[in-house]
Amino acid sequence: MLELNRLIGALALGALSLSAQAVEWQALPSKAPEPANNPSTPAKVELGKMLYHEVRISSNGVLSCNSCHNVMGGGDDNRAGSIGVKNQVGGRSAPTVWNAAFSSVQFWDGRAPSLEAQAKGPVTNPGEMGMKSWDDVVARLKAMPEYTKAFALAFGSEDSVTADNAAKAIAAYERTLITPNSAYDKFAKGDKSALNEQQVRGMETFAELGCVGCHSGPAFNGPQLPEGTGFYQKFPAIENGVFEAKYGFMADLGRYEATKDQADKHLFKVPTLRNIALTAPYFHNGKVTTLEEAVRVMGKLQLNKDLTESQAADIASFLNSLTGEFPKIEMPRLPAYANKAFPTE
Amino acid sequence: MLELNRLIGALALGALSLSAQAVEWQALPSKAPEPANNPSTPAKVELGKMLYHEVRISSNGVLSCNSCHNVMGGGDDNRAGSIGVKNQVGGRSAPTVWNAAFSSVQFWDGRAPSLEAQAKGPVTNPGEMGMKSWDDVVARLKAMPEYTKAFALAFGSEDSVTADNAAKAIAAYERTLITPNSAYDKFAKGDKSALNEQQVRGMETFAELGCVGCHSGPAFNGPQLPEGTGFYQKFPAIENGVFEAKYGFMADLGRYEATKDQADKHLFKVPTLRNIALTAPYFHNGKVTTLEEAVRVMGKLQLNKDLTESQAADIASFLNSLTGEFPKIEMPRLPAYANKAFPTE
């Protein structure tokens, strides 16, 4: 861990500036990795889709996973803080669900070692979907016989309506939420006309400045580590009074909130840059609204470099080329809630 | 109007009891009627689908049309009263959007003469989607350039982002939300094995008791009247202290609330029975949770008949045969909200 932190420190100071030619630009795989204990099947993905769009697993029956991670859009909610069941505003900006399958840990602080573990969190978070317990969630699901059937199809038993299986199904659905064939991907695969001049310039600047030190790999979120092992970075790496006064990034202690380990103060998971043009506002607290300003902030706080307007614009233009192709998704059919009224809190 | 009310009175008292053989049992058409001033086009339907599922046209950005009229389910929210932007609970149970295109007026009190008129209501209702005005809605839509393009595709002008066009597009989408090929439809078209014995018995009882006096036609919501002309019924037609104490139906003055015409007191639009098994709880106030009890209530309050348990069960079984085939719907792609944070109230 110490070694990794030392490496991170070096990266933060721009020690890994590279020419664009030296960087291995990787296209997004067309399939996400699957853990050995949760291989994807069509029945599991279908159930996961139902659960992902199921408002009845929130306490007031209004919110679903999709409310904050909207797959009809950029996979988030374009907010600084998401809205929970009692209209509470969450403390961190919702990360995108698109390509989350390429992250080895989940949440800004990496506290969930897998998509499966992540899926269980918001449902019973009082500030998010507000269910009292997963037992209550399971009871609600069991009140709809079609869910029992869908779980049986996915998990091979009539007795399979459980929190673990719900999480596995949701994770399996999320592993289908990937966006290949961006302009960048086409370029990386050899179609040199896929990016325009400004985007190529931005790509080169992105490499030369050292952004690629952390935002590497096919998802631009760092090296591909085993599931459960996170790739973190201190943010801000370099304290800066002007930016801090403006954006208050340091109010959030990051991974420390999850581990209480002093060494984790202000560490955050390096997030994917895929579809970043769609997921404003930026950073864990969503205080920065434009991509250009986000780029300038990163330059100063992570690399100690004052980017020119044209450098920031070029990089932002390059980042726009990371918007991928969104697969067509058929809406799930949700089970009937027959002969009952949904409880109103 | 007086004539119609007199006819309604006669119907209410069961004057139109019929044998099942005498009833013209009609299958649901595979296409909904379209008004001359809003012919459906694929571009219009696609835009309508985007808007129908667009949470950003509610004040807090959490609710869409689909929140209360969930097309992934029975087209409603299975509640007595829907939840609005500030968690207010609405005063009437949300009607299903499925097959709403076969209603000649909309809302329980028929106050909207068309789907187009209906679509405009909830968006600016402070207790529902809570937008201050349609001007604000239009401003939000115009902040997303892809909407301007989608409106231009649907309405042929770059200047076409208007409330009227938004409503037209939503209505065009809703006209695709129809559910043909229920077991009942197959039976009505000649497949006598499509209904089981109990369902056939329920169908006969439904006719003989006089239910069919109001719940006639392909959507079981009365005669096919010109758009804008409603088919209403007094509910309860017969006052009954026991039921009133239990369910409080009369607290709502129905159509009178919209017209302030004394003759409209307690009149409600005759709702469709299509997919009724999916849309518990029942009646304008959602006070009745089971279909059997809803049938008993109707028997007593509209036809002055005490249904036996088996009559109620038979009719409920028949009503289950009205659950149709739901078309597969691809999720819309919603425009980016680039370089902005969604405002939090």
**pLDDT-above-90 percentage for chain A:** 89
DSSP B236-284: SSS--HHHHHHH-GGGS-BTHHHH--GGGTTEEE----TTGGGS-SBST
Q: How far apart are CA A270 and CA A100, in angstroms?
A: 12
Pick the closest to residue B166 from B194, B188, B147 (CA basis). B147
| Confidence (pTM) | 0.94
Q: Which residues of A touch B73 (CB under 8 A)?
A: 333-337
pLDDT of residue B343: 81
DSSP B172-196: HHHTT------HHHHHHTT-TTSS-
Q: Which residues of B touch A277 (CB under 8 A)?
A: 336, 338
pLDDT of residue B217: 96
Tens digit of pLDDT for each residue in A169-195? 999 999 999 999 999 999 999 999 999
Q: Which of A77, A331, A342 sits opposite B329 (nearest CB)?
A: A331
pLDDT of residue A230: 96
pLDDT of residue B16: 59
Q: Which of B78, B328, B341 sits opposite A342 (nearest CB)?
A: B78
Q: Which of A77, A281, A336 sits opposite B277 (nearest CB)?
A: A336
**Model confidence at A343, in pLDDT bands (50, 70, 90)?**
confident
* Rounded mean pLDDT, A137-145: 96
pLDDT of residue B18: 74
Pick the closest to residue A70 from A102, A107, A96 (CA basis). A96
- Cβ pair A336:B291 closer than 8 A: no
Active site residues of B: 128
Residue A14 has pLDDT above 80, yes or no: no
Residue A194 has phi, psi (to 5 degrees) of -70, -25
Residue A254 has pLDDT above 60, yes or no: yes
- Cβ pair A340:B281 closer than 8 A: yes
Domains of chain A and CATH, by start: 2-30+180-320 (1.10.760.10), 42-174 (1.10.760.10)
**Structure token digits, residue A273:** 């840059």
Write out chain B's pLDDT in tens, 345 residues: 444 544 454 454 444 567 777 788 999 999 999 999 999 999 999 999 999 999 999 999 999 999 999 999 999 999 999 999 999 999 999 999 999 999 999 999 999 999 999 999 999 999 999 999 999 999 999 999 999 999 999 999 879 999 999 999 999 999 999 999 999 999 999 999 999 999 999 999 999 999 999 999 999 999 999 999 999 999 999 999 999 999 999 999 999 999 999 999 999 999 999 999 999 999 999 999 999 999 999 999 999 999 999 999 999 999 999 999 999 999 999 999 899 999 865
Tens digit of pLDDT for each residue in A290-314? 999 999 999 999 999 999 999 999 9
pLDDT of residue B45: 98
pLDDT of residue B22: 79
Distance from CA of A86 to the nearest CA of B (A): 7
Beta bridge partners, A233, equal: A268
Determine contact: A260 vs chain B, CB below 8 A. Answer: no
Q: Which residues of A touch B62 (CB under 8 A)?
A: 62-63, 67, 83
Determine contact: A87 vs chain B, CB below 8 A. Answer: yes
Cβ contacts of B178 within 8 Å, gap of 6 or more: B28, B29, B30, B31, B32, B98, B99, B101, B102, B324, B327
Between strands A267-269 and B232-234, the pairing is unpaired
**Structure token digits, residue B59:** 């004040």
Q: How far apart are CA A324 and CA A336, in angstroms?
A: 35
Q: How far apart are CA B345 and CA A47, in angstroms?
A: 34
Distance from CA of A43 to the nearest CA of B (A): 17
Q: Is the dihedral of CA B287, B291, B293, B296 positive or negative?
A: positive
Residues 240-259 of B with CB under 8 A from A: none
Determine contact: A286 vs chain B, CB below 8 A. Answer: yes
